């Protein structure tokens, strides 16, 4: 048999095998308001299919997914599949007014996508205003049939979704903050799988429990779905072995505590090797903004050995501002082996980011510091979402006066970013400015925290991509000194980078996914204040490098 015929047969067999094992999963999500009881109080929350957290999507690498979302809530709504590459398919990405107009009350939209070369733990959440406070769930992508985890198969798998709970409707909390210009009220409790746990009044009954047998290996899929808070997580008397972050396998290492930023996921293995008993899994804030209030509560769930009845033991969690523990933890996250990092950089970008203030006439709408309104920005641009058409539709249909493609590649002024910033630089400029990337270009972005109002650890999420974190540090980025220390051998890959408080992080990726892709802080307070920008990635050559056409049921504005 000639080599060409042989290779043709092989490719036909391979494509047959892939179509045989890849499945199409159909789901129906109904988003609605329902009564909920927490912290001794009743009020109404928006949830999916009457569940909080919402349903776990359990699929395999290579599967196709169709999720019909029906909006029976009183609010405009979209759903984002956080961390999915959505190759050539930003129409299914979800951020409101970026890749789609919202699904109006009474309307529906079917998100259709195929999972390509991704496995591990991701999640889904509402991506319109603050609805993701209660509209979220786990997205578990298993290896293809015939493949396995790069670690022993666990006996038990369990999603641990960390969140925040408000005693008021979250939309009211957001509206009040946007009206006054001040910081919003902090949450009333941290939650694990929607429950605050034993340490709160009226909460013992609903506390999340996981029952194990002695000797079991347990895979905890930890997701930070909190709206505004980085969180420490630990399990009393048990070591955690980190095996993946953001659905990408890592070099394994063992730790007592992990820190997960909003938007991030971390998979850990735990062996039930302790005296049979009951042990708290606990989560508490990592908070870095100086003098800013935060939710200082501790959420608990219970890991219980079968038949154990003892009082649960609490783990030792780090102090709320223990940046040393966070740095030591994040420095250990690496790719399992050598990876191919872009080294010839086509686009060298430098983005300052953080708080700002808008001057205004003293009154009820100017209740930020010194009669101002809080803002946030990247490169001094405070991002304004359009409201009559999505950015993706404006780009593909060439609709004028929606955005300008002139987002600055570097800050308009150089200054001591983490030092004493002159007052003249505190007010950003509002705008809908995007940055264009050629298909296939190699991109480096240095994300630089600033000390306007306060430095803070910011979780920055890039839609449609994952990227290599080649370096991070404290203070101002110094290209001549810091570039020499970049890790170009086994840097971790993520979709959400926690930029160190008062520091910087350098990321690299290849712009191989055409479309309009949002980059923003995953603290929703900061996003509402304008902490975002978006990339236009142009089409490449041929069908495989070109945007798919918009679906016929794409919601209209």
**Digit-coded pLDDT (tens) for 493-525:** 999 999 999 999 999 999 999 999 999 999 999
Average pLDDT over residues 129-142: 98
Q: What is the pLDDT of residues 67-85, one digit of tens each?
A: 999 999 999 999 999 999 9
In the chain, pLDDT over 70 holds for what percent of residues? Answer: 96
Average pLDDT over residues 56-70: 98
| Confidence band, pLDDT 50/70/90 cuts, at residue 290 | very high
Tell me the sheet residues that pair with 217: 271
| Confidence band, pLDDT 50/70/90 cuts, at residue 451 | very high
Distance of alpha carbon 417 from alpha carbon 475, whole angstroms: 8
For residue 361, pLDDT beyond 80: yes
For residue 55, pLDDT beyond 70: yes
Average pLDDT over residues 40-65: 97
For residue 326, pLDDT beyond 50: yes
The enclosing H or E element of 184 equals none
Distance of alpha carbon 93 from alpha carbon 95, whole angstroms: 6
| Domains of the chain with CATH codes | 21-147 (2.60.40.420), 151-334 (2.60.40.420), 347-545 (2.60.40.420)
The pLDDT assigned to 22 comes to 76
Q: What is the pLDDT of residues 94-104, one digit of tens each?
A: 999 999 999 99
SS3 content of the chain, % helix, strand, coil (to 5): 10, 40, 50
For residue 9, pLDDT beyond 60: no
The pLDDT assigned to 246 comes to 98
The pLDDT assigned to 23 comes to 87
Average pLDDT of every residue of the chain: 95
Average pLDDT over residues 204-228: 98
Average pLDDT over residues 240-244: 98
Joined tokens for residue 199: 């340490």
Average pLDDT over residues 281-295: 96
Residue count (the chain):
557
Distance of alpha carbon 428 from alpha carbon 358, whole angstroms: 7
The pLDDT assigned to 162 comes to 98
Give this prediction's pTM: 0.96
For residue 130, pLDDT beyond 60: yes
For residue 2, pLDDT beyond 70: no
Distance of alpha carbon 59 from alpha carbon 378, whole angstroms: 36
Contact 323, 349 (CB under 8 A): no
| Confidence band, pLDDT 50/70/90 cuts, at residue 16 | very low
Distance of alpha carbon 352 from alpha carbon 361, whole angstroms: 28
For residue 409, pLDDT beyond 90: yes
Strand runs labelled E in 143-216: 156-165, 189-192, 209-212
Cα of 182 vs its chain's centroid, Å? 24
Contact 258, 268 (CB under 8 A): yes
For residue 486, pLDDT beyond 50: yes
Contacts of 436 (CB under 8 A, 6+ apart): 405, 535, 536, 538
Average pLDDT over residues 468-488: 98
| Confidence band, pLDDT 50/70/90 cuts, at residue 21 | low
In the chain, pLDDT over 90 holds for what percent of residues? Answer: 95
Phi, psi angles (nearest 5°) of residue 548: -70, 155
Contact 113, 89 (CB under 8 A): yes
Average pLDDT over residues 344-365: 97
Is residue 53 reached through a cis peptide bond, with omega within 30 degrees of 0 on the bond before it? yes
| Confidence band, pLDDT 50/70/90 cuts, at residue 11 | very low
Sheet holding 372-378: strands in order across? 429-431, 381-383, 372-378, 347-359, 442-449, 503-510, 467-474, 493-494
The pLDDT assigned to 268 comes to 98
Distance of alpha carbon 268 from alpha carbon 255, whole angstroms: 10
Contact 521, 537 (CB under 8 A): no
User: Closest by alpha carbon to 418, among 525, 326, 501?
Assistant: 501
The pLDDT assigned to 19 comes to 43
For residue 14, pLDDT beyond 70: no
User: Closest by alpha carbon to 469, among 442, 487, 481, 483?
Assistant: 487
Residue that is written with structure tokens 């895979």 in the block: 219
């Amino acid at each position: 048999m000639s080599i060409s015929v042989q290779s043709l047969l092989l490719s036909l067999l391979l494509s047959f095998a892939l179509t045989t094992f890849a499945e199409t999963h159909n789901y129906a999500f109904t988003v609605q308001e329902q009564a909920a009881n927490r912290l001794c109080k009743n009020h109404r929350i928006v949830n999916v299919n009457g569940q909080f957290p919402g349903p776990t999507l359990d699929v395999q690498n290579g599967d196709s997914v169709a999720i019909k979302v029906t909006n029976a809530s009183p609010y405009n709504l979209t759903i984002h599949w956080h961390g999915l590459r959505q190759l050539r398919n930003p129409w299914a990405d979800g951020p409101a007014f970026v890749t789609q107009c919202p699904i109006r009350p009474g309307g529906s939209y079917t998100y259709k996508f195929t999972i390509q070369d991704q496995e591990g733990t991701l999640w889904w959440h509402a991506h319109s205003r603050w609805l993701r406070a209660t509209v979220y769930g786990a997205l578990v992508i298993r290896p293809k049939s015939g493949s396995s985890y790069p670690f022993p198969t666990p006996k038990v798998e369990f999603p641990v979704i960390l969140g925040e709970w408000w005693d008021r409707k979250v939309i009211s909390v957001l509206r009040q903050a946007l009206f006054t210009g001040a910081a919003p009220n902090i949450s009333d409790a941290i939650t694990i799988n929607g429950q605050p746990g034993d340490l709160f009044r009226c909460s013992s009954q609903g506390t999340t429990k996981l029952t194990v047998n002695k000797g079991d290996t347990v895979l905890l899929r930890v997701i930070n779905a909190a709206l505004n808070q980085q969180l420490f997580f630990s399990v009393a008397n048990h070591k955690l072995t980190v095996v993946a972050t953001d659905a990408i396998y890592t070099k394994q290492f063992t730790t007592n505590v992990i820190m997960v930023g909003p938007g991030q996921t971390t998979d850990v293995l735990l062996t039930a090797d302790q005296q049979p008993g009951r042990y708290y899994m606990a989560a508490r804030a990592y908070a870095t903004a100086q003098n800013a209030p935060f939710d200082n509560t501790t959420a608990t769930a219970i890991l219980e050995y079968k038949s154990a009845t003892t009082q649960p033991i609490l783990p030792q969690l780090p102090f709320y501002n223990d940046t040393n523990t966070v740095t030591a933890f994040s420095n250990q996250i690496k790719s399992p082996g050598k990876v191919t990092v872009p080294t010839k950089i086509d686009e060298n970008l430098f983005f300052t980011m953080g708080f700002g203030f808008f001057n205004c006439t003293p009154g009820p709408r100017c209740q930020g510091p010194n009669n101002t309104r809080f803002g946030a920005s990247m490169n001094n641009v405070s991002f304004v979402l359009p409201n009559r058409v999505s950015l993706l539709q404006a780009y593909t249909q060439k609709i004028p006066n929606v955005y300008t493609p002139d987002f600055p590649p570097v800050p308009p002024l150089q200054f001591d970013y983490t030092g004493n910033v002159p007052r003249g630089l505190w007010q950003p400029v509002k705008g809908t400015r995007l940055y264009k990337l050629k298909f296939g270009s190699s991109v480096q972005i240095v994300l630089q925290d600033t000390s306007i109002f306060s430095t803070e650890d910011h979780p920055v999420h890039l839609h449609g991509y994952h990227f290599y974190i080649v370096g991070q540090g404290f203070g101002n980025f110094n290209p001549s000194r810091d570039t020499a220390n970049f890790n170009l051998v086994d840097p971790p890959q993520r979709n959400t980078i926690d930029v160190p408080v008062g520091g910087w992080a350098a990321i690299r990726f290849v712009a191989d996914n055409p479309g309009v892709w949002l980059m923003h802080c995953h603290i929703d307070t900061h996003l509402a204040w304008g902490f975002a920008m978006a990339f236009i990635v142009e089409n490449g050559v041929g069908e495989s490098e070109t945007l798919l056409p918009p679906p016929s049921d794409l919601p209209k504005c």
